[in-house]
Amino acid sequence: MARWLAIVMWAMLSVTHAKDAPPVAADPVLEARMQRIAVELRCLVCQNQTIADSPAGLSDDLRRDIREQLQRGATDEQVVQYMTERYGDFIRYRPAMKGSTIALWVGPLVLLVGGVGVLVFALRRRAKLAPDRFEPDDDDEAAEEVR
Amino acid sequence: MKSLRFIIPLAIFLVLVGFLAAGLKLDPRAVPSPLIGKPAPGFTLPRLDDPNTAVQRDAMLGKAWVLNVWASWCGPCRDEHPHIVAFAKSKQAPLIGLNYKDKRDDAQAWLKQLGNPYDLSLSDLDGRVGINFGVYGVPETFVIDKQGVIRFKHVGPMTPEVLQTRIVPLLKELNG
C-alpha cells in the first residue's frame, strides 16, 4: 500500500514538474550583467521590488530592453541612464548624488553627528552638576552600609 | 529659560506633524515624469484599425494633442472611459489612443462595445513605445504641444477634476 502510494505521489510530482523553466538567455555572461543592472532598478509597478525579481509585465519588458542594449554594446552606465531618462531618478535604488538628492545622502550623517553632539553636550553638563542635584541611587546606600 | 524646555519639544513635535501631514497627501505611485518639458519620443506605429498604415510622431506636429494610453485588459481604463468619451465629444484637441500591449482583436472589440472616443488608435504590441514614454501603469494620459513637447502627464484613470482643472486649461493655453 505504502509503495503504491509512493508511486502515485511520484507520478503527481513529475506532472507538476512537466512544465519547462523559461529558457535563460543564450549568453550567461550577458545574463549575469543584465541581472546585476536589474537589481539596481526599481520596478515601478510593484515599487518595493527590483526589476530583477518583479514578476510584473513591465519588468519583463525592461529586462528584455536591458538585454538588447547590452547586446548592442551599451555600458552599464548607459543602460541606467536610459532608464532614468524615461522613468526618472525614482527608478534607481541608489539615487545619483546631486543637488536634489543631497539631503538623502548627507541627511543620516547630519542626524548622527547632531545626535552625538547633543548627547555629549548633555553628559558634560550633567557631569558638572553637584551630587545633591541627583536623586540618590539605591545601591549608593548599599555601598554605604558595606563600608 | 524654563519655558524653553517645553517650547522646544513642542516645536519639534509640530514640525514633525507638519512633515507627516504633508506625507499623507503625497501619492507614492505618482512618479514625477522626467519627460515633462522634453520632446515626445519618436515613434512609428501601425494604426489599430489598419495595421498596414503607420503613423509617425511628426504627423502630429503643429497642433496640441492628447495621447491616452489604454488597453482592453486594463480595468481602470474601463472606469475612465466615459470621461474620455466626454472629453472627445468636446472636440478640444485631437485624441490619440496608444493601445498598449494588447491584442488587436480584443482592442477592437473593446472599442466596439464601449464606444470609440479616439480620432485614431496606434498599436504598441510589444510595449516598446510605452517604455519610451515612461509608461508604467495603464491608463496614462499625456498632453503634447504644437512643437511635440510633452507638457503634462497623468497616471491612472482620468477624472473629471483633472480634465477640468489641468487638461482643458492647458489646451486652451497651448491653442491660444
- How do the pLDDT tens digits run along chain A, 147 residues long? 666 666 666 655 555 554 455 555 578 889 999 999 999 999 888 888 899 988 888 999 999 999 999 999 999 999 999 999 999 888 998 888 888 888 889 999 999 999 999 999 999 999 988 888 888 777 766 666 665
Region B63-75 average pLDDT: 95
| B interface test, pick of A87, A92, A118 with most B CB neighbours within 10 Å | A87
Contacts B150 to A, Cβ<8 Å = none
Query: Is residue B72's pLDDT more than 90?
Result: yes
Confidence (pLDDT) at A73: 92
**CATH class given for the domain over A22-96:** mainly alpha
Confidence (pLDDT) at B153: 94
With a threshold of 0.85, tell me whether the complex ipTM lies above it: no
- Which chain A residues in 3-42 lie under 8 Å from chain B, judged by CB atoms? none
Do the chains contact at B127 and A61, CB–CB below 8 Å?
yes
What string of H, E and C letters represents the secondary structure of chain B?
A: CCCHHHHHHHHHHHHHHHHHHHHHHCCCCCCCCCCCCCECCCCEEEECCCCCCEEEHHHHCCCCEEEEEECCCCHHHHHHHHHHHHHHHCCCCCEEEEEECCCHHHHHHHHHHHCCCCCEEEEECCCHHHHHCCCCCCCEEEEECCCCEEEEEEECCCCHHHHHHHHHHHHHHHHC
Confidence (pLDDT) at B144: 96
User: A59: which 3 cell numbers?
Assistant: 519588468
Let me know if B128 is exposed, middle or buried by CB neighbors in 10 A (0-12, 13-18, 19+): middle
Nearest CA in chain A to B100: A58
For B34-175, CATH number?
3.40.30.10
Chain segment B1-34, per-residue pLDDT in tens: 678 888 999 999 999 999 999 988 887 667 778 8
Confidence (pLDDT) at A138: 72
Confidence (pLDDT) at B31: 72
Do the chains contact at B136 and A45, CB–CB below 8 Å?
yes
Q: Where are the domains of chain A?
A: 22-96, 100-146
Region B141-163 average pLDDT: 94
Do the chains contact at B34 and A85, CB–CB below 8 Å?
yes
What whole-number distance in Å separates Cα of residue B140 and Cα of residue B111? 17
Q: Where are the domains of chain B?
A: 34-175
Contacts B33 to A, Cβ<8 Å = 88
Chain segment B81-121, per-residue pLDDT in tens: 999 999 999 999 999 999 999 999 999 999 999 999 999 99
Query: Number of Cβ pairs closer than 8 Å across A and B?
Result: 39
